[in-house]
Amino acid sequence: MATHMSRCRTWSRVQRFGIAAYRKYSSSGGGYPNISLSAPLPGIPKPVFASVDGQEKYETRITTLENGLKVASQNKFGQFCTVGVLVNSGSRHEAKYPSGIAHFLEKLAFSSTAQFGSKDEILLTLEKHGGICDCQTSRDTTMYAVSAEVKGLDTVVSLLSDAVLQPRLLDEEIEMTRMAVRFELEDLNMRPDPEPLLTEMIHAAAYRGNTVGLPRFCPADNVDKIDKKVLHSYLRNYYCPERMVLAGVGIEHEQLVECARKYLLNVKPVWGTSSVANVDLSVAQYTGGIIKMEKDMSDVSLGPTPIPELTHIMIGLESCSFLEDDFIPFAVLNMMMGGGGSFSAGGPGKGMFTRLYLNVLNRHHWMYNATSYHHSYEDSGLLCIHASADPRQVREMVEIITREFIQMAGNAGEMELERAKTQLKSMLMMNLESRPVIFEDVGRQVLSTGKRKLPHELCDLISNVTASDIKRVTTKMMRSKPAVAALGDLTEMPSYEHIQAALSSKDGRLPRMYRLFR
């Protein structure tokens, strides 16, 4: 039987390709190793490849309703959609309020509303459409998002309207949020990864007491000060339609506009409306400075393979806002610096050819981490390098980082610049394959600029960055005062004045210290 089947398969191949081709290309034929991989096989129809006309098939469409609310959508193939409301509100707007309101609102999101008695009711309603919900706050944006089946769009927008404009904010919910915030603050100080805490510290040092320098996490002293009255006062000023965007990915624009008109046009919020919104329009003032936190890091991660005691340093300089043309060269510079942990695995795609790997982690085995970060806001930005090492080698580590900053102003090699640009474009395009990421990109761009730059436009801007652009933005950045955050055993930590002197020198070296007794 098996022999018969084999003969049938052979005969079908002979019929398809012809006897000569079968003899030449069959696995038993002598000509098998000489098959050209670049020449087409005889008898096979010519392939038809997909072509790109240079334009996205689905462009972002934007409509502004009568009350000032913007509706933005991007269609995408699939039976699921991501829809959400983005509000121009975050920790940077809390200058006139106790810090921590945005943190509280994030935890209180999707709790009981005028229409739903509890969070469980909301989740059960979403489950009928295979949906999930989430709320995230940053320093300048609050984002309520739902991913669900396209067929449930009407329910989703109705639920979002209720969650954003009609929350009950019951006393027991606020008390539960206080417990959740206290737990998160405790966890923040105990977790082995210090990056969230260092990011908080570097912002506080760079923008001392203003806008993006205000705490993103609720300070422990303010947990009991925030109540329903304070929250309503804040929401009355910041949760108004002209400060909001309803963004959707994977749905028809007309359908989303129709739902927005139905549920978000003439809805009166539960906190009422004020005739004159008292909005904080402060512009970020970069100050520079240092914030230190002496902390015993010896028992952060115990267990069979404990993390050794480390001191963490972050040094930053002012870059630019995401609205400026220099934002793209700074993004390329950040990608060129790259870096990561000393135990990262992978090849060029993982950033192994970035400067912080080649010049720092590969040459100094005692350094556990060296990573570049770029934080950008509507009126300022911060490019910083985070490094970790043994407490006894802190001074040497700081000097290595200051030298890297000085070398940024040198000429970028053609190969490393092309690699950084290619890596940035590839990261951008890969991230924008994910529906929630497209949603966030559409929402944030429309909220801050009123329009959206499409991926191919961004890729063109990245391609146009030259070595002289990198040199120009770096030279401008090096004129600003440094912002420094230090965490751990800081016995060997150099002074702020010495770090400033190193960043002003030609080679980035710290001033020499002479001691009579060591």
Rounded distance between C-alpha atoms, residue 515 and residue 493, angstroms: 15
Q: What is the pLDDT of residue 383?
A: 98
Rounded distance between C-alpha atoms, residue 329 and residue 320, angstroms: 10
Do residues 239 and 87 touch, judged by C-beta distance below 8 A?
yes
Rounded distance between C-alpha atoms, residue 64 and residue 240, angstroms: 14
Do residues 482 and 500 touch, judged by C-beta distance below 8 A?
yes
Q: What is the pLDDT of residue 51?
A: 65
Chain centroid to CA 226: 28
Rounded distance between C-alpha atoms, residue 262 and residue 158, angstroms: 8
Do residues 233 and 98 touch, judged by C-beta distance below 8 A?
no
Do residues 486 and 290 touch, judged by C-beta distance below 8 A?
yes
Q: β-pairing, 289-294 with 483-488?
A: parallel
Separation in Å, CA 409 to CA 469, 478, 499: 10, 8, 17
Locus of tokens 């705490």: 215
Separation in Å, CA 61 to CA 298, 333, 442, 476: 53, 32, 10, 37
Rounded distance between C-alpha atoms, residue 202 and residue 313, angstroms: 10
In sequence order, the 6+-apart residues with CB closer than 8 A to the CB of 25 are 17, 31, 32, 35, 41
Q: Report helix, strand or coil for 66.
A: coil
Specify which residues 246 forms β-bridges with: 71, 85
DSSP 46: P
Q: What is the pLDDT of residue 421?
A: 96
Do residues 317 and 405 touch, judged by C-beta distance below 8 A?
yes
Euclidean distance between the first and the last CA atom of the chain, given in angstroms as a whole number: 89
* Tokens matching residue 122: 């909301």
Collect contacts of 492-496 with beta carbons under 8 A, ≥24 apart. 492/391, 492/392, 492/393, 492/394, 492/395, 493/292, 493/311, 493/313, 493/394, 493/395, 493/398, 494/394, 494/395, 494/398, 494/399, 496/289, 496/290
* Tokens matching residue 82: 């991501």
Going along the chain from its start, the domains and CATH numbers come out as 61-265 (3.30.830.10), 289-504 (3.30.830.10)
Rounded distance between C-alpha atoms, residue 312 and residue 195, angstroms: 9
Q: β-pairing, 70-74 with 61-64?
A: antiparallel
Q: What is the pLDDT of residue 14?
A: 47
pLDDT by 10s per residue, the chain, length 518: 555 555 555 555 545 555 444 444 444 545 555 777 788 777 888 878 766 555 555 689 999 999 999 999 999 888 999 999 999 999 999 999 999 999 999 999 999 999 999 999 999 999 999 999 999 999 999 999 999 999 999 999 999 999 999 999 999 999 999 999 999 999 998 888 899 999 999 999 999 999 999 999 999 999 999 999 999 999 999 999 999 999 999 999 999 999 999 999 989 999 988 766 788 889 999 999 999 999 888 777 766 777 788 999 999 999 999 999 999 999 999 999 998 887 655 554 566 789 999 999 999 999 999 999 999 999 999 999 999 999 999 999 999 999 999 999 999 999 999 999 999 999 999 999 999 999 999 999 999 999 999 999 999 999 999 999 999 999 999 999 999 999 999 999 999 999 999 999 999 999 987 665 55
Do residues 399 and 493 touch, judged by C-beta distance below 8 A?
no
Specify which residues 340 forms β-bridges with: 370
Q: Which of 508, 483, 477 is nearest to 407 (CA)?
A: 508
Rounded distance between C-alpha atoms, residue 243 and residue 258, angstroms: 20
Separation in Å, CA 392 to CA 198, 368, 488, 516, 517: 20, 13, 11, 19, 16
Residue 191 sits at the vertex; the CA angle it makes with 488 and 137, to the nearest 5 degrees, is: 110
Do residues 288 and 481 touch, judged by C-beta distance below 8 A?
yes
Question: From start to end of 212-254, where are the E strands?
Answer: 244-249
